[in-house]
Amino acid sequence: MSRIGKLPIALPAGVEVKVAGNTVTVKGKLGELSQTIDADITVKVEDGKVNVTRPTDQKRHRALHGLYRALIANMVKGVSEGYKIEQELVGVGYRASNKGQLLELALGYSHNVLIELPKEIKLTTASEKGQNPKITLESADKQLVGMVAAKIRSLRKPEPYKGKGIKFVGEVLRRKAGKAAGK
């Protein structure tokens, strides 16, 4: 039995789960999310808990069992608490600003980079004197906010010598010694 898949998902107050066919819809104070589920996997909502079961012990069913349980758990947490990702820009002259859902980044290229973010994500930027500029992304959808954060980071990944680039707050970078270390 899957150690992840067999765990029931507790529903916090204010979260409602509906199963219609092979679509699971989760509704809460921060929004509504839905996920299509494989026809073999069954989802049942009973007395404040969501249970995910599989029909057999085939390798495919075992894999899907844990996957869909994790996806539903992420949706429940997202509509009740939400997800927040913070990134910081490390480097001289690196700046971030936003106008609504349009993120403008100055990353040392000959031009500023503009990114239009989906309306499901709440975007804030902060630039304090003596601190690196920060980008904060908030959303109920873990998958979407993670994908957007990865896209922003891919514009200028942290380099291993000075650490310049876009990094997640709290991320530990592996630094390399420069050419002087060989002597």
User: pLDDT of 55-105, one tens digit each?
Assistant: 999 999 989 999 999 999 999 999 999 999 999 999 999 999 999 999 999
Query: Over the stretch 139-173, which tens digit does the pLDDT of each residue have?
Result: 999 999 999 999 999 999 999 999 899 999 998 98
Distances in Å between the Cα of 5 and the Cα atoms of 8, 11, 53, 116, 123 are 8, 16, 7, 36, 33
Does domain 83-168 bear CATH number 3.90.930.12? Answer: yes
Provide the CATH number for the domain formed by 9-80 in this structure.
Answer: 3.90.930.12
Give CA angle at 82 (81, 83), nearest 5°.
130
Domain ranges of the chain: 9-80, 83-168
Strand order in the sheet with 102-106: 95-99, 102-106, 113-116
Is residue 180 very low, low, confident or very high in pLDDT (cuts 50, 70, 90)? confident
